[in-house]
Every structure is written in structure tokens, then in C-alpha cells.
Amino acid sequence: MKRSFLMPSLVLALALAACGGSSGGSGETTPDKPAGDSTASSDSSSSDDPVATLQKMSDDIQKSVDAVISPITGAPDVLAGLAPAKLTTDLKPTKGRLNAKKVMAEIVKVVNGADADIASLQLDADSAKTLTDRIQKLKDLVSAVKNVDQNVKDLTAKIADTATKAPPLVAKALASAQLTLKNPLAGGDKKKDAQATMDKLNGIKDSFMGKLDGWKTDLAALPAKAKDIPAQLAKLK
């Protein structure tokens, strides 16, 4: 229930801010201070470039979303790469024939939360790298499944936090840019920079808001998808 409330709230908050803040739409005065302005002030003062700060906030959330969602949504590819027939085809030992049972035994260790001893399999360099990469993805998947509820909760909280921090930054940057554009004494270069700032802000807002529906859908479906994965991992044994 909390996820469904927080995601739309972020859309509304960013949309209001992108329209010029709560009362600074004319760009002629500083926007009214929002609730919790002490947080906004510390965030604003930490960077001389609100646009760069907003871009970083957006990028950080995208990375967090990818870290939470990708291992689980990518589970079919991870599991397919660990199928015995696939491993037998892709892995080559330094000598003799591949012992598929030993390879699977090391994979099962990872499923159970332990580390695999790839060196003991005596694979050639390319095969060792291939298996190392696949086992790392398996580790990421196991961790994602184990922590899915907490990860979704933390990500939802992070998005909600952005909903409170982004609007003051957007409003401040827009108010400053609008003031420059309306100033008859401002030079052409300054007006170009101000317009570029507004374009960047709108680009960040549009990109971020354009992803929200997809994130909301993926987060809502993630726990159910994760519940099916342990049974699939068990088949590797």
C-alpha cells in the first residue's frame, strides 16, 4: 500500500516544482520556502549547480532501481547459463573431459550461500572467466531474492526522499533562470545559459517521470517473481 502512495506523490511533487514552485511561477521572486526547508537549504548549499545535483539524484535512483530489479528480472538468463548442458558446451578443462558434476557441486555451494572453488575445477583461462562471471550473477540473484522485501522497502523510501528534496532545487533553479530571461539588462550569453538550464531541468523531469510508471509496475511485481526463483534454483541441484 505504501508503494502505491509514494510513487504518485513523487510525480506530483516534481510536476509542481517544474511549473515554477509553489508561488514563484513568475520567476520575479524567490519561491516560498517549503516544509522542511532546512533540509533543502543544506542540500542546495552543498552544490553550486542545482541542475547537477538533480541529475545526480536521478542517476542514483536509476542505479538503485537497476540493482534491485535487474537480478530478479534477469533470473531466466542467469539460470539458463548454469544449465548442465550449457556448461558442458561452454566450459573447457585444461586437460581431459569436463567433470560436470563437480561444476554443479560448486554452483550448489553458491545457491546455499557459500563461495565456489573455481580453481579446483581446473578450467582453462577463458572458461574460468566465463564461470566466474556466471557465478557472480548467481550470487547477485541469491542475494536479491533473499533481501527482496527489504530492498523494495528501501528503494521506495529513497524515492520518497527524493520527492521532498527535488522540488526546492527545481524551483530554485527555475526561478533563477526565469529571472535572467526576463531581465532586459541580461546579456545574450546569460540568457542562453538560463534557457539551457531550463531545458536541462525539463529534460531531467521528463526522463525521470517517464520512468516512474515502469518502476512502479516492476516493483509491485518483484516479490511475486522472487518467490518463484528458489524453486528454480533448487533444480540446479
What pLDDT is recorded for position 159? 82
3-state secondary structure string, 26-66? CCCCCCCCCCCHHHHHHHHHCCCCHHHHHHHHHHHHHHHHH
Residue with cell 533553479: 173
Q: How far is Cα 201 from Cα 189, in angstroms, rounded to an integer?
A: 18
Q: What would the pLDDT profile of 53-110 be if each residue is shown by its tens digit?
A: 888 888 898 899 999 999 999 999 999 999 999 999 999 999 989 999 999 999 999 9
What pLDDT is recorded for position 47? 52
The whole-chain average pLDDT of the chain stands at 79
Q: Which residues of the chain have pLDDT under 50?
A: 1-46
H or E element at residue 107: helix 100-111
What pLDDT is recorded for position 44? 38
What pLDDT is recorded for position 166? 79
Number of other residues whose CB lies within 10 A of the CB of residue 80: 10
What are the sequence ranges of the domains in the chain? 2-68+147-234, 75-145
Q: Report the predicted TM-score, pTM, of the whole model to 2 decimal places.
A: 0.66
H or E element at residue 232: helix 188-234
